[in-house]
Amino acid sequence: QVQLVESGGGLAQPGGSLRLSCTASGLLLDHYSIGWFLQTPGKGREVVSCISKIDREEYYANFVKGRATISRDVPSNTVFLQLNNLRPEDTGVYYCAADVDHTWCQRSSDDYDFWGQGTQVTVSS
Contact (CB, 8 A) for 69 and 94: no
Instruction: Please give the pLDDT value at position 41.
Output: 83
CA distance 105 to 99: 8
Q: Across residues 109-120, what is the average pLDDT?
A: 97
pLDDT bin (cut points 50, 70, 90) of residue 16 is very high
**Angle made by CA atoms 71, 33, 73, in degrees to the nearest 5:** 30
Contact (CB, 8 A) for 52 and 72: no
Tens-place pLDDT, residues 40-85? 988 889 999 999 987 679 999 999 999 999 999 999 999 999 999 9
Phi, psi for residue 110 in degrees, rounded to 5:
-65, -20
3-state secondary structure of 116: strand
Q: Specify the pairing of strand 58-60 against strand 45-51.
A: antiparallel
